[in-house]
Amino acid sequence: MRLELTPQLKDYELIDSGDFEKLERFGQYVTRRPEPQAIWRKSLSEQEWRRRADASFLREERSEERGEWKFKPHVPSRWMVGFDYRGMSLKMRLAFTSFKHVGIFPEQAANWEFIYDRCEALCAKGVTPKVLNLFAYTGGATLAARAAGAEVTHVDSVKQVVTWARENMESSGLDGVRWIVEDALKFVNREVRRGNRYHGIILDPPAYGRGANGEKWVLEENIGEMLECCAQLLEDKDSFVVLNLYSMGLSAMLARTAMHQAFGTPKQEQSGELYFEDSHHKQLPLGVYYRFER
């Protein structure tokens, strides 16, 4: 089933988008960042964007991702936002990074809800779900699974990001996550050799990346091996997988085809785009997803 998803977060708002930028509110602060998919024109004036933005990201001349932030005097270097859903109440720290990110991908909240529901349903059946979160960043999906009672292994190659995720866990009143600082592909290959199995696997791979020891990750070159390993790690029943893809040009159909080849055709599946609609009714796609349960 194809389904476009947009979550509801009280601490997030897409105010305007266009001319390859987006104007967003995270909690009480408004940011201005590059957005390559915002190919239309802005609805608000440049003067209004400047007035509203508490922090603006200026990209380096020779880089698509790196740059620096310019802040208004009242803006702190760190602040907190929350996400509430049923029995889950997450608190996550935000900060300004040199890669234009602030520590949360708010569109992923639609998947956090799915992960929480699946883990809660497994617990209700008497199964304590084991969940593996790969390329796990600051841990939104990790915390959703843990809040529902899952045993979670969180894998990311950047030590500082794993520390950030641990802080988010503690701020959310949770504990017990297994933290792994390692290249994700190397980790899953070792888990296959060990014969370990998981009820849930979450994959949020970047287009390009480096492992903890400099291992090179290129999505188009490595995703096949990654999915084949994950298929060997997933339990045959009472299990689920979530895959996110951010690279421009990659479609939900592509994700679905790759997952079917690796895992077979499941009974229940969803795929589509994650998006937000700005206050002027322009819909901004922010990645594709594929997820299934069996």
Taking the model in full, what pTM does it have?
A: 0.95
Note whether residue 32 is domain-resident.
no
Domain around 175: 105-293
Residue 15 lies in a domain: no
Taken as a whole, the chain contains a residue count of 294
Report d(CA 114, CA 125) in Å as an integer.
17
Structure tokens at 78: 């760190």
Model pLDDT, residue 64: 66
Domain count, the chain: 1
Mean pLDDT for 269-279 is: 96
Average pLDDT over residues 161-166: 98
Percent of the chain whose predicted confidence (pLDDT) is above 90? 86
For residue 144, tell me if it sits in a domain: yes
Q: Is residue 74 situated within a structural domain?
A: no
Residue 233 has pLDDT above 80, yes or no: yes
Q: With respect to residue 36, please indicate whether it lies within any of the assigned structural domains.
A: no
For residue range 118-148, what is the model confidence (pLDDT) as tens digits? 999 999 999 999 999 999 999 999 999 999 9
pLDDT digits (tens, 9 = 90+) for 151-162: 999 999 999 999
Report pLDDT for 128: 97
Residue 104 confidence (pLDDT) above 70: yes
**CA neighbor of 215 nearest in space, from 163, 155, 262:** 155
Per-residue model confidence (pLDDT) at position 137: 96
Residue 46 located in a structural domain? no
pLDDT tens track for 169-183? 999 999 999 999 999
Asked if residue 253 belongs to a domain, the reply is yes
Mean pLDDT computed over every residue of the chain: 95
pLDDT at residue 246, as a whole number: 84
pLDDT at residue number 124: 97
Q: Which pLDDT belongs to residue 250?
A: 83
Confidence of residue 93 (pLDDT cuts 50, 70, 90): very high
Mean pLDDT is lowest, of 38-42, 57-61, 84-88, 262-266, for 57-61
| pLDDT tens track for 215-226 | 888 888 999 999
At 287, which CATH number? Answer: 3.40.50.150
What tens digit of pLDDT does each residue of 240-254 get?
999 999 876 789 999
Residue 286 lies in a domain: yes
Amino acid 154: pLDDT: 98
- Confidence class of residue 11 from pLDDT cuts 50, 70 and 90? very high
Q: What is the pLDDT of residue 248?
A: 67
22, pLDDT greater than 80: yes
Q: What is the pLDDT of residues 33-70, one digit of tens each?
A: 999 999 999 999 999 999 999 999 998 877 667 889 99
Q: Tell me, what's the pLDDT at 34?
A: 95
